[in-house]
Structures are given as C-alpha cells and as structure tokens.
C-alpha cells in the first residue's frame, strides 16, 4: 500500500488533539483539504516534508537517518524513544510489523539533502559537534559584569526616553514595515543609541506590552506608565523576562548550555550543527536575540554576564537580584540652582524622575542627570493637575538647596499665565468640534496666523474665539507643544487635565485555531461519507492506489462466506467495481466493491 494510503488510514484513527498537532506543525500554508486522503497527500508533498525536517534537531534527525538506512534502533533507550515519538508525532514515520519505517516521501527528501548543501544520512550519524570553546575565565567575569551593568542601566534609561518621546510625538510605521526614517532617527537621538538599536527596542517593548500600534502610529500604553514608576532593577527585570519568554525553547536550550561560554560565531556554529536544516531564518532570529541581549546587558561583548547566566539558569527574579548588586546606587535628592536647572548627583529614583519630568524638561541624561524648569514645563504640570502648592511641596521634599528665588517667582508667574488660552469641546456644532478662546485678542490673532497650526484649519468667529473641526484634545496638545499657555475645559467650562494619547486597551483578539477547524471538517466529512455510502472510504483508497500505480492485496468475500486474497495492480475504479491485473494468475480481474472486505500492502 502506498504511503498515502497508510498515512490516510493512520490519520483517520488518531484522536482529535494528535491530529490537530500534526496539522498545526506540518501545514503552515493550509492547502485545500477535503478528506484524510487530501491531508495525507499534502503531508507527503516535498515542501511539507522539508518544513517538518527543518525544525528537527540533529539527534532526532540522526534517528531518522538510521531508520532510512534500514537500521533497527533501541526503543528502550529514553532518548531514542523521545526521538521516535517526535518523528511519529509529526507523521514522518510509521510503525510496521518489522519496526519503525519512514514514509517514502521522507526518504526521498532526506536523500536529496546532499545536493542542497545539507548533511547526508551518513553525516547526520557520524559528524561530531563543533569543538566547544573554553569557559569564560573567572578573572574576566568582573569586567564583563561591570560592562553588562552599565548597559543594563543605559538600556533602562533609553527605554524610558523612548517612551517619553513617543508620549510627545508618536512614531509612524511604514506600510512596508519598519519605522519611518525621521522617526527612527528621532527616537535614536532621544535614547542616545545607534539607529540599529531602535527597532530592537520597539520590538522588545511591544512584546512587553509597553508600546502598541494604533493604526500606523506607535504609542505608549498604560503599562508603560506603570513600568516607569518601578526601580531600575524592576524595570530591567520586566524587560529581561520579556526577552527570555520570547526566546524559543529550542534556542533557549542551547543558550542555557552556554552561560559560561561566548555566544556570537561559536554559538552560530553550534546552532548550524544542531539544527542543520534551519538555515538563515534561525540565524536571523538568533542574531535578534543576541542584539537585544547585548542591549539589556544579558551579555556583554558576546559573553553572558552573571545576571544573564542567572536569567537562563534560574529565571528573571534571580537575574534581577544579580543585576541589582551591580547597578549604581539611586539617589532621592537633587540640587535646585538659580539658573532654573536641577542637577541630580546620581541616578535618580525612577518615581522621582517621573515626577520631575512633569515640572521640568530633561537637558542631559546620564548617571548625573540635569533638568530645566521653564514656564512651559510648569504650565504642562499645572495642566496635568499640579498646583503652585503641590509643585513647591514636591521640590522642597527633593531639594538639597531649597527653592531658589528665580524658580519661586517662575512658579507664581506660570500659575497666573496658565489658562490664558482655553480649549473647549464644542457640542453645539458637529462640524466645528472645538473652540479656542482667550481674553487676549492679540494672542488669538497670533494663533490664527501661526503656520504651525495650518493643518487645524482655525476659523476666527470673534475677536477672542477660534473654532476648528478637530477634537479638543488634539487642539490642546498642539497648542501645549507650541508652548502656548493653554488649558482644557469640559463642556461646563471647568478646567480639566488632558493626558497624552495612549494606545487603546483592546480585548485579546480570539485566535482562530485553523488546525482544530480542519479537524472538525475532516471528521464531519468522514461521517457524512460513511453515512452516504459504506463503500466511500474503500473507493477513495482504491482510487489513490490506482493513481500511484502500486499493487495491493485485496481481500474478497466469497458467496460461501469464505475470503480470498488477490494480489492486484489496480487499473481503475468505476461503476461499483475494481479492475486490476492479478499478478499471480496473470489475468485481468473485475471485482464488485461490495464484495471487497479490505485492502492492505503486499
């Protein structure tokens, strides 16, 4: 019997979950499948077989190579038994009376490997892995850990700066994929990193749920706000945990064995040996994980740090504990200076840093950061709900030098100036959704002619009022970013705080399990076919044998109740009859399908 017939029968006998797993693993492109014979044929097509072989590790492939060579394998050995289970679970081998046997399509695909630059069956069995490099010298560990801790601190800082920049202005994703060039450069400048690091940071942030796309725009999420309030070690732990979760188990297994050995080229050689058919896709995936590991300080100079080793060996919490011992100590006090700058003598506690950013702009970011208080930054804080009293109270609590007189004066002026321009939702006219008002007609006139707001399409309907078709929050942030003394009002004229736009919280999109859907379709089709005609399954088997031109042993029920076996080469099925050449008698036979009790391989 052909491999297709054998496999179709086996697939039909599987339980739903085993069948679902095979479909999910083997058929990513989902060809049109109406019954188990279609499924068997699809699984035995060379591209589908190659797809299955690509994800197998070398020990499993070596077991398959042994079976291909006709060798018996020791099923009592636990490792061999696991390899056989993997191969059978992917429908690459079948169990016969003589043992496990690969399907013919699998043999053919493996035999073609040497012509494609892949190892032969013999090479799979005999080639040894690359020589492992010596473990990292313990004397080099402090240097590696120091560099890793610096990178960890810098990366946490860079991520915070990226979120701040996205708060100020979202980044645009191109239709073809990737950030627009201006936005990529803008984020790189804010993060003080190379442009190549930005896509890695965005990728990791998305996995962590800290940024998300709303249409074509990358925005921060509410989770990013919460992340910003954590300590440096807590922030790093969240990113490291995301990295670890993203690493596929197959790669993580190899990384776990190299916590004291270099990665880079040596790792790539090991991966190429261990997964010989994976090729470029696996290498690109590994390079991305390596780049993000370097960014986070999981590795430094391709060497795993103590925290990186702990991450792979014991998990994120242990890694954060190891990293926290190396991170610079955080401070909770700053110097307020007469030139309106604020200087932190060391890394500031993140919660204080976040609060300072509400009332001041970051001027430089390093171990000792500096901020500058401006009228615009104070107005921004007041717009977010701060008062003169709350601003003074906060600054007093963190200052080592008190509040300088120029700063005290600027706070009073900002409070007086705040709200000189008011933006209100205009509920009375759907075409003009917001109005901008001020007692200062000259200020309204300046806004009306400011080319920065040309896209808002302001229309002046009075000396002291403009209207626009854009919503209040859009208008508010346009004016606030341009440093106008603006306040937002609700419909009753009360001043309200306006938050920057975040990516909307969305319910998890239900994932359609296409494999499970196909299983249900196959079961329904088989039940319908059986109900309509008991001979349908037999006919399909025989049609497949005719198509493949392979011999069958056909068991026929005789009128006296006995059964006879005929070795036939099927030539056609139709009209309720099977036609085939009897090899033994060397004659053409025609058998009624209703008399055929079964078919099997010779």
Q: Domain range holding 159? A: 138-324
Q: Are strands 217-220 and 171-172 parallel, antiparallel or unpaired?
A: antiparallel
Beta strands, E only, 351-453: 361-364, 370-372, 421-425, 434-438
Report the range of poorest mean pLDDT among 63-67, 244-248, 315-319, 354-358.
354-358
Q: How far apart, in whole angstroms, are the C-alpha atoms of residue 14 and residue 89?
A: 10
Q: How far apart, in whole angstroms, are the C-alpha atoms of residue 218 and residue 502?
A: 9
Q: What is the pLDDT of residue 107?
A: 94
Report the range of poorest mean pLDDT among 154-158, 296-300, 573-577.
573-577
Please state the pTM of the whole predicted model. Answer: 0.77
Query: Two tokens at 508?
Result: 């998890």
- 196 in the same domain as 302: yes
Report the range of poorest mean pLDDT among 89-93, 159-163, 542-546, 587-591.
542-546
Segments in 113-221 forming alpha helices (H): 121-126, 141-168, 181-191, 197-207
- 276 in the same domain as 143: yes
Query: Two tokens at 179?
Result: 């950030």
Please report, rounded to a whole number, the percentage of residues in the chain having pLDDT higher than 90.
44
Asked whether the beta carbons of 150 and 367 are under 8 A apart, the reply is: no
User: Residue 505 falls within a domain, yes or no?
Assistant: no
Q: What is the pLDDT of residue 498?
A: 74
Beta strands, E only, 524-584: 552-557, 563-574, 577-582
Using alpha carbons, select from 450, 486, 488, 446 the residue that is nearest to residue 463. 446
User: Residue 520 falls within a domain, yes or no?
Assistant: no
In the three-class reduction of DSSP (H, G, I as helix; E, B as strand; rest coil), residue 382 is classed as helix
pLDDT band, very low/low/confident/very high, at 132 (cuts 50, 70, 90) = low
Helices (H) and strands (E) in the chain, counts: 26, 22
Estimate to the nearest angstrom the gap between the alpha carbon of 241 and the chain centroid: 13
Residue with tokens 């401070």: 331
Estimate to the nearest angstrom the gap between the alpha carbon of 74 and the chain centroid: 39
Q: What is the pLDDT of residue 503?
A: 62
In the three-class reduction of DSSP (H, G, I as helix; E, B as strand; rest coil), residue 439 is classed as coil
User: Residue 407 falls within a domain, yes or no?
Assistant: yes
pLDDT at residue 297 greater than cutoff 90: yes
Q: How far apart, in whole angstroms, are the C-alpha atoms of residue 391 and residue 414?
A: 11
Q: What angle do CA 119, 125, 128 make, to 5 degrees?
A: 85
Q: How far apart, in whole angstroms, are the C-alpha atoms of residue 152 and residue 159?
A: 11
- 320 in the same domain as 280: yes
Number of Cα atoms under 13 Å in the Cβ half of residue 206 = 12
pLDDT band, very low/low/confident/very high, at 531 (cuts 50, 70, 90) = low
Estimate to the nearest angstrom the gap between the alpha carbon of 21 and the chain centroid: 21
CA distances from 505 to 157, 188, 211, 581 (A): 25, 27, 11, 68
Report the range of poorest mean pLDDT among 3-12, 37-46, 281-290.
3-12
Q: What is the pLDDT of residue 306?
A: 93
**Interval 532-572: pLDDT, tens:** 555 666 777 777 777 767 777 888 888 888 888 888 888 88
Helix (H) or strand (E) holding 242: helix 232-246
Q: How far apart, in whole angstroms, are the C-alpha atoms of residue 322 and residue 141?
A: 13
Query: Two tokens at 530?
Result: 């059986």
Choose the final residue of a domain: 67, 100, 126: 126
Residue 424 phi, psi dihedral angles, 5° rounding: -130, 145
CA distance from start to end of the chain: 7
Q: How far apart, in whole angstroms, are the C-alpha atoms of residue 417 and residue 382?
A: 11
DSSP single-letter state for residue 95? E
Residue 218 phi, psi dihedral angles, 5° rounding: -90, 125
- 487 in the same domain as 453: yes
Q: How far apart, in whole angstroms, are the C-alpha atoms of residue 571 and residue 231?
A: 76
Taking the CA atoms of 390, 394, 400 and 405 in sequence, report the sign of the dihedral they define: negative
Estimate to the nearest angstrom the gap between the alpha carbon of 489 and the chain centroid: 40
Q: How far apart, in whole angstroms, are the C-alpha atoms of residue 374 and residue 381?
A: 11
- 165 in the same domain as 312: yes
Using alpha carbons, select from 138, 149, 157 the residue that is nearest to residue 323. 149
Asked whether the beta carbons of 245 and 161 are under 8 A apart, the reply is: no
- 543 in the same domain as 404: no
Helix (H) or strand (E) holding 575: none
Query: Two tokens at 116?
Result: 């494609």
Helix (H) or strand (E) holding 370: strand 370-372
Report the range of poorest mean pLDDT among 22-31, 93-102, 119-128.
22-31
Asked whether the beta carbons of 434 and 472 are under 8 A apart, the reply is: yes
pLDDT at residue 334 greater than cutoff 60: yes
In the three-class reduction of DSSP (H, G, I as helix; E, B as strand; rest coil), residue 547 is classed as helix
- 273 in the same domain as 161: yes
Those residues whose C-beta lies under 8 Å from the C-beta of residue 69, and which sit 6 or more positions away, are 121, 125
User: Residue 131 falls within a domain, yes or no?
Assistant: no
pLDDT at residue 309 greater than cutoff 60: yes
Those residues whose C-beta lies under 8 Å from the C-beta of residue 596, and which sit 6 or more positions away, are 538, 554, 555, 556, 557, 578
Q: What is the pLDDT of residue 1?
A: 43
- 355 in the same domain as 291: no
Report the range of poorest mean pLDDT among 337-341, 351-355, 509-513, 596-600.
509-513
Q: How far apart, in whole angstroms, are the C-alpha atoms of residue 148 and residue 156?
A: 12
Choose the final residue of a domain: 417, 432, 454: 417
User: Residue 521 falls within a domain, yes or no?
Assistant: no
Those residues whose C-beta lies under 8 Å from the C-beta of residue 547, and which sit 6 or more positions away, are none
Q: Are strands 465-468 and 434-438 parallel, antiparallel or unpaired?
A: antiparallel
Q: How far apart, in whole angstroms, are the C-alpha atoms of residue 3 and residue 124?
A: 24
Using alpha carbons, select from 3, 110, 101, 27 the residue that is nearest to residue 547. 3
Asked whether the beta carbons of 82 and 88 are under 8 A apart, the reply is: no
**Interval 469-528: pLDDT, tens:** 998 888 888 888 888 888 888 877 787 777 766 666 555 445 567 888 888 888 887 777
Q: How far apart, in whole angstroms, are the C-alpha atoms of residue 391 and residue 398?
A: 11
Helix (H) or strand (E) holding 436: strand 434-438
- 195 in the same domain as 310: yes
Q: Structurally, how many domains does the chain consist of?
A: 5
User: Residue 525 falls within a domain, yes or no?
Assistant: no
Asked whether the beta carbons of 448 and 422 are under 8 A apart, the reply is: no
Query: Two tokens at 203?
Result: 């990728």
Q: What is the pLDDT of residue 372?
A: 95
- 368 in the same domain as 320: no
Estimate to the nearest angstrom the gap between the alpha carbon of 46 and the chain centroid: 29
User: Residue 61 falls within a domain, yes or no?
Assistant: yes
pLDDT, mean of residues 44-61: 92
Q: Are strands 299-300 and 361-364 parallel, antiparallel or unpaired?
A: unpaired
Segments in 248-337 forming alpha helices (H): 249-256, 264-274, 279-296, 306-314, 316-324
- 27 in the same domain as 92: yes
Q: How far apart, in whole angstroms, are the C-alpha atoms of residue 461 and residue 446?
A: 15
Choose the final residue of a domain: 397, 417, 437: 417
- 428 in the same domain as 384: no
User: Residue 21 falls within a domain, yes or no?
Assistant: yes
**Interval 195-224: pLDDT, tens:** 999 999 999 999 999 999 888 889 999 899
């Amino acid at each position: 019997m052909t491999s297709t017939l054998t496999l179709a029968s086996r697939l039909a006998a599987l339980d739903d979950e085993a069948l679902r797993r095979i479909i999910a693993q083997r058929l990513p492109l989902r060809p049109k499948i109406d019954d188990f014979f279609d499924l068997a044929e699809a699984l035995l097509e060379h591209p589908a077989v190659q797809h299955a072989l690509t994800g197998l590790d070398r020990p499993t492939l070596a077991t398959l190579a042994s079976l291909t060579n006709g060798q018996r394998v020791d099923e009592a050995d636990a490792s061999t038994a696991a390899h056989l289970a993997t191969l059978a679970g992917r429908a690459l081998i079948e169990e016969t009376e003589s043992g496990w046997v690969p399907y013919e399509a699998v043999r053919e695909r493996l035999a073609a490997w040497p012509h494609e630059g892949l190892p032969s069956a013999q090479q799979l069995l005999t080639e040894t892995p690359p020589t492992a490099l010596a473990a990292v010298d313990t004397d080099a560990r402090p240097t590696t850990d120091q560099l890793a801790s610096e990178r960890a601190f810098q990366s946490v800082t860079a991520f915070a700066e990226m979120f701040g920049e996205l708060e100020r202005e979202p980044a645009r994703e191109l239709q073809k994929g990737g950030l627009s060039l201006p936005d990529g450069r803008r984020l790189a400048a804010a993060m003080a990193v190379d442009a190549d690091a930005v896509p890695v940071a965005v990728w990791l942030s998305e996995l962590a749920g800290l940024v998300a796309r709303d249409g074509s725009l990358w925005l921060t999420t509410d989770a990013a706000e919460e992340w910003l309030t954590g300590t440096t070690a807590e922030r790093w732990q969240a990113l490291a945990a995301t990295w670890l979760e993203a690493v596929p188990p197959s790669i993580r297994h190899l990384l776990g064995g190299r916590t004291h050995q270099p990665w880079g080229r040596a790792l790539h050689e090991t991966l190429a040996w261990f997964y010989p058919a994976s090729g470029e896709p696996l290498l690109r995936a590994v390079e991305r994980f390596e780049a993000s590991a370097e960014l986070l300080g999981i590795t430094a100079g391709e060497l795993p740090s103590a925290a990186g080793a702990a991450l792979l060996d014991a998990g994120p919490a242990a890694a954060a504990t190891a990293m926290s011992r190396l991170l610079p100590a955080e401070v909770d006090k700053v110097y307020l200076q007469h030139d309106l700058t604020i200087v932190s003598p060391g890394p500031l506690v993140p919660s204080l840093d976040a609060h300072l950013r509400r009332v001041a702009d970051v001027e430089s970011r390093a171990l000792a950061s500096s901020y500058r208080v401006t009228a615009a930054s104070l107005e921004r804080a007041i717009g977010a709900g701060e008062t003169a009293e709350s601003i003074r109270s906060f600054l007093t609590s963190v200052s080592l030098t008190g509040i300088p007189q120029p700063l005290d004066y600027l706070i009073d002026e900002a409070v007086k100036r705040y709200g000189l321009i008011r933006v209100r939702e205009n509920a009375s006219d759907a075409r003009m959704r917001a109005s901008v008002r001020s007692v200062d007609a000259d200020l309204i006139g300046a806004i009306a002619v400011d080319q920065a707001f040309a896209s808002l399409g302001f229309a002046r309907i009075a000396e002291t009022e403009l209207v626009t078709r854009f919503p209040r929050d859009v208008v508010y942030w346009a004016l606030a970013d341009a440093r106008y003394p603006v306040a937002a009002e609700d419909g009753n004229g009360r001043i309200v705080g306006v938050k920057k736009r975040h990516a909307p919280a969305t319910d998890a999109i239900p994932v359609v399990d296409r494999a499970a859907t196909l299983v249900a379709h196959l079961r329904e089709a088989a039940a319908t076919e059986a109900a309509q005609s008991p001979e349908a399954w037999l006919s399909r088997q025989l049609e497949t044998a005719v198509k493949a031109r392979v011999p069958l042993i056909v068991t026929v029920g005789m009128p006296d109740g006995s059964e006879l076996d005929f070795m036939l080469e099927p030539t056609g099925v139709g009209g309720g009859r099977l036609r085939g050449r009897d090899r033994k008698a060397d004659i053409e036979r025609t058998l009624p399908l209703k008399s055929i009790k079964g078919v099997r391989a010779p």
